[in-house]
Structure 1
Amino acid sequence: MTPSSLITSLLSAPAAQAEPAVARLTGTLDDGATWIADVPADWNGTLVLYSHGFGSLAAQNAPSEAVRAELLAEGYALAGSSYDPNGSKWALASAERDQFATLDAVTAKIGEPEHTLTVGQSMGGLVNAQLARDGAGRIDGALGLCGLVAGGTDLDNYQLDAEYTLARLLLPGEQVELVGFGSAAEAADTARVLTDAVTAAQATAQGRARIALAAAFLNLPAWAPDQARPAADDWAGQEEQQYAWFASGVLSFIEGGRYAVEQSVGGNNSWNRGVDYARLLARSVHAPQVRALYRSAGLDLGADLEALTDGAEITADPAAVRTAERTSSAGQGLAVPLLNVHTTADALVPVEQERRFGDRVRAAGAGALLRQAYVERQGHCTFTAAETVAALRALEHRVTTGHWGSAATPAALQRAATALGLGEAAYVVYRPAPLTVGRDRQGGGR
């Protein structure tokens, strides 16, 4: 169907619809992935390809219903795939391929767009960064939302540091399985054991100090949802809010995600053998908090860090590390402009990932194509429709004019978002701390 015949058929359809006339197109790719596309009758010529996050492997074409409705009303066509539904929920082995195949399938039906933009959220933000790296001639620009852009191995490594700290310091002498899960049930058991240990430890000053140490390794923000931000030197208040993240079930999500990553890459891709935990803490923005809580609890921080270092014997499967580097990494360069947006207090994908990613992109010589912006809010992917649409428009400005200008600055994004009338906006000037991960090179193999 050509664009003109598609639009003609839409305009002749009954008008008893709450939203502008939209054609829903669907299809199935060779690997079993499904795709969907929504094309408004007054298509403006821009196709937006959406990469969804970790979880259900169902085709999605927008980060929220509010964003979907606004973009369709403005004339954008929207598309997205499920990724291959036959494997792991960490679908990085197929996601980039399936998204490019979806572009081919959709454009075969509606014609070539004037511009193709990609949007990706959470795990889909990593997919989106890969599309921006590899999409020369196929896409024109990319928008990442709360993207897991440090990649799968960095993710599993800093999470391992936190899990290992909880197990060794809160459950001394107990054997807690931290890697190499054989089933989702095993991962859930580990999450339960560690969460119960955190809950018990919160009752004592010594336990709270050790929770703060694990939180530092997890890059866990000290500002939790529905709470006022604690003062910069309110060490106890910061730990209380980090505990709130743990109590909300963050470890269940982490362990379930680890099982899915290991399924996808064929083994354990994380390690702590050779990690110096004193040096690791020194790199953390939360180090002053940890030191203060240890002092007030009468604990020897140096002894705990030495015990962690001495007991660090977990090794990775080298083949799994190589697979993760091939399928689940980004930052090796950019072929098109990329704007990444992140909330400043994200417990699932810490904002520090943006610092790690930006350093890699600049080292690859592609820094001029990258812009990063920040929304002052707690939670993972808790953007308003106004913030998302304003970011997409800033990306469009870069695509159509060939330069960023001031469009992606916090002030410009805030003005643009506020003017939309689609909800509040909280763009701020912000620079993330370095990611506390402590592994600059791949390693840890048997």
Structure 2
Amino acid sequence: MHRTASPYRCSALVTLAASLALLAGCGGGDDDDDTPAPEESRPQDALTFTPVVETSFAALAGSAVETDRWTGVLNGAAYRIEVPKTGWNGKLVMWAHGYAGSGPNLTVGTPIMRRYLLDNGYAWAASSYSKNNYDVRAGIEDTNALALNFVSIAGSKGRTLAAPSKIFITGVSMGGHITAAAIEAETETTAVHKVHYHGAVPLCGVVGDNELFNYFAGYQVAAQQLAGVPMTSFPVTNFATLAPAIQSALWTTFPTQTNAQGDKLKNVVMNLSGGARPFYAEGWANAGNQGNIWASLGGDGTISGILNKNVLDTTGLYYKVDASSTDKTALDDAFNASAFKITPAPDANRLRRDGLRWIPVVNGEFSVPVVSLHTLGDLFVPFRMEQVYHDRAKAKGNDQRLVQRAIRDVGHCAFTAAEATTAFDDMVKWEAGGAKPAGDDVATAATVASPTYGCAFTNNTPSTEDYTAPDVRAAFQAHYPACP
């Protein structure tokens, strides 16, 4: 897609170590065969990807900071590294790009806050990852490996650098998943390439890990049922041929205008994606959001071969079709009683002996400051991700380490560089001993539903580094509810 140990943590690591020991066949008696069975492969492992080799990348236009800029390939992944020629502050920022599709070519991204990083003396590095598709495991390992090789790569390029005093991580969408998972206790224990990051800024991230895929599955279940072609088994092998009929049954003009039956789906998705909130209606009618969602439906639950078995689970979802009341109604209960339930294979994303899970988890078990951003109208990686992240962190006693901010826009990762830069700057000041920065309450429904929700941290000051061109965003914003 976009495109200091604590008691709880020690306990978690002990439990994790025990689980890994069991998986590896440890602790058997004299009659047991202690040789672990080999780990199985998956379709993703059979694919071949090729890093796009760059000889250089351009200096940042308009920047007064002179830099060393290096490119290369490490462990099958392309990389970019940039370090100020003078005045490096000794800190390294790892950038994690978003989903890059399923094609064979591996390309590198550039951080949205690049200008801020250079102006403030940071070095940054970014990996293409050694695999495309939704391979967060590869993303973490290759990003970590690049961080561990930062000094040696600099040396091979003719510059001697000390080891970074601190390493931070930030990224967008799938890269936000990589960012959040990279600081988890489980990741720090099970990763092959181990890096301890000092702080993180996940942007528009899949910070609810598998809950994103459950959301897509719930959308499909509800859409099929409302369109009169209810799911009766899983996977739905002919979904591509069903899709046009479903859209015709629920929209008068797809994707902008639903009919009365489609309005029920609109209400379902509002609640599955984070509840009533500003910019939901605009996000629902956004062609980019709906296009991304529909491109994500109809799978078999293996996340396009990242897993070998179905991971989807809709048994915990509740479909709110009745917009006449915020409470559950008889209409809602009847719809849910008849809705098909997708159940996962219990070991689809199990712990592994050879490194990270195939889809690394975001359990809320982290020990460093985190500041996250999410646009309210994003329905591809919905705002609900932040609510899941909040709940998991709170359950682990880590909500005081997490600051979350809502941004008033509809696009996936449609931040200004000013918004992302402020989040990163606030995180590093907090990590250095400053006060905990302010954030938004993502958990209280009435707060999220307020017409002015998200005004505090939305900054429409444009720049050429924005993911959405300034004139395009300005045109969008002109039609959106204004902040006081």
Q: Name the count of aligned residue pairs.
A: 372
Give the unaligned 5+ runs of structure 2: 1-58, 155-160, 189-193, 441-453, 474-484
Are residues 1:24 and 2:69 paired?
Answer: yes
Q: What is residue 178 of structure 2 aligned with on the other side?
A: 127
Are residues 1:407 and 2:437 paired?
Answer: yes
Q: Would the aligned equivalents of 2:126 and 2:143 in 1 still touch at CA under 8 Å? A: yes
- Equivalent of 2:250, from 188, 192, 198? 198
Q: What is residue 60 of structure 1 aligned with on the other side?
A: 108
Deviations for 1:174-209, whole angstroms, at most 9, x for unmatched residues? Answer: x6986477xxxx776565554444334887853233
Q: What is residue 5 of structure 1 aligned with on the other side?
A: none
1:100: how far off?
A: 0.9
Q: What is residue 425 of structure 2 aligned with on the other side?
A: 393
User: More displaced, 309-318 or 162-171?
Assistant: 309-318
Go from structure 1 to structure 2 and tell me whether the alpha carbon gap of 1:17 and 1:197 turns closer, same or farther (over 3 Å shift).
Answer: closer
1:170: how far off?
A: 0.6
Q: Would the aligned equivalents of 1:54 and 1:90 in 2 still touch at CA under 8 Å? A: yes
Deviations for 1:121-158, whole angstroms, at most 9, x for unmatched residues? Answer: 11111111112224597321111111110112x11222
- Equivalent of 2:204, from 135, 146, 156? 146
Q: Distance in 1 between matches of 2:265 and 2:92?
A: 46
Q: Percent identity?
A: 24
Q: Distance in 2 between matches of 1:354 and 1:198?
A: 29
Are residues 1:306 and 2:334 paired?
Answer: yes
Are residues 1:357 and 2:380 paired?
Answer: no
Are residues 1:45 and 2:87 paired?
Answer: no
1:48: how far off?
A: 0.9
Q: Distance in 1 between matches of 2:392 and 2:138?
A: 23
Q: Distance in 1 between matches of 2:299 and 2:83?
A: 34
Go from structure 1 to structure 2 and tell me whether the alpha carbon gap of 1:421 and 1:168 turns closer, same or farther (over 3 Å shift).
Answer: closer
Q: Would the aligned equivalents of 1:92 and 1:264 in 2 still touch at CA under 8 Å? A: no
Q: Distance in 1 between matches of 2:312 and 2:268?
A: 17
Are residues 1:270 and 2:312 paired?
Answer: yes
Q: Which residue type is aligned with residue 323 of structure 2?
A: V
Q: Secondary structure at the match of 1:319?
A: coil
Q: What is residue 376 of structure 1 aligned with on the other side?
A: 408
Q: Would the aligned equivalents of 1:176 and 1:190 in 2 still touch at CA under 8 Å? A: no
Q: What is residue 42 of structure 2 aligned with on the other side?
A: none
Go from structure 1 to structure 2 and tell me whether the alpha carbon gap of 1:76 and 1:157 turns closer, same or farther (over 3 Å shift).
Answer: same
Q: What is residue 317 of structure 1 aligned with on the other side?
A: 345
In the TM superposition, what are the counterparts of 1:269-348 in structure 2 within 5 Å? Answer: 269-272=311-314, 274=315, 277=318, 280-281=319-320, 290-291=323-324, 302-303=330-331, 305-322=333-350, 327-348=359-380
Q: Would the aligned equivalents of 1:190 and 1:255 in 2 still touch at CA under 8 Å? A: no
Q: Secondary structure at the match of 2:376?
A: strand
Q: Distance in 2 between matches of 1:50 and 1:131?
A: 12
- Equivalent of 1:250, from 292, 310, 325? 292
User: More displaced, 67-76 or 154-163?
Assistant: 67-76
- Equivalent of 2:130, from 62, 70, 84? 84
Q: Distance in 1 between matches of 2:114 and 2:204?
A: 18
Deviations for 1:84-136, whole angstroms, at most 9, x for unmatched residues? Answer: 22xx5111232211111110121323431232111121111111111222459
Q: What is residue 19 of structure 2 aligned with on the other side?
A: none
Q: What is residue 434 of structure 1 aligned with on the other side?
A: none
Q: Would the aligned equivalents of 1:48 and 1:78 in 2 still touch at CA under 8 Å? A: yes
The CA RMSD over aligned residues, in Å, is: 4.2
Q: Which residue type is aligned with residue 98 of structure 1?
A: D
Q: Secondary structure at the match of 1:377?
A: coil
Q: Which residue type is aligned with residue 170 of structure 1?
A: A
Deviations for 1:409-446, whole angstroms, at most 9, x for unmatched residues? Answer: 57998599979999899xxxxxxxxxxxxxxxxxxxxx
Q: Secondary structure at the match of 2:431?
A: helix
Q: Which residue type is aligned with residue 166 of structure 2?
A: H
- Equivalent of 2:270, from 204, 216, 226? 216
- Equivalent of 1:109, from 150, 153, 162? 153
Go from structure 1 to structure 2 and tell me whether the alpha carbon gap of 1:367 and 1:355 turns closer, same or farther (over 3 Å shift).
Answer: same
Go from structure 1 to structure 2 and tell me whether the alpha carbon gap of 1:49 and 1:207 turns closer, same or farther (over 3 Å shift).
Answer: same
Go from structure 1 to structure 2 and tell me whether the alpha carbon gap of 1:201 and 1:21 turns closer, same or farther (over 3 Å shift).
Answer: closer
Q: Distance in 1 between matches of 2:205 and 2:376?
A: 12
Q: Which residue type is aligned with residue 291 of structure 1?
A: S
Q: Would the aligned equivalents of 1:406 and 1:412 in 2 still touch at CA under 8 Å? A: no
Q: Which residue type is aligned with residue 208 of structure 1?
A: G
Q: Would the aligned equivalents of 1:90 and 1:261 in 2 still touch at CA under 8 Å? A: yes
Q: Distance in 2 between matches of 1:81 and 1:146?
A: 19
Q: Distance in 2 between matches of 1:325 and 1:120?
A: 20
Q: Distance in 1 between matches of 2:128 and 2:370?
A: 23
Q: Which residue type is aligned with residue 313 of structure 2?
A: W
Q: Distance in 1 between matches of 2:123 and 2:144?
A: 16
TM-score when scaled to structure 1?
0.69
Go from structure 1 to structure 2 and tell me whether the alpha carbon gap of 1:366 and 1:257 turns closer, same or farther (over 3 Å shift).
Answer: farther
Q: Which residue type is aligned with residue 71 of structure 1?
A: L
Q: Which residue type is aligned with residue 383 of structure 2?
A: V
Deviations for 1:252-301, whole angstroms, at most 9, x for unmatched residues? Answer: 342388777241122321133x5574xx53xxxxx7x72369xxxxxx97
Q: Distance in 2 between matches of 1:115 and 1:244?
A: 40
Q: Which residue type is aligned with residue 369 of structure 2?
A: P
TM-score when scaled to structure 2?
0.64
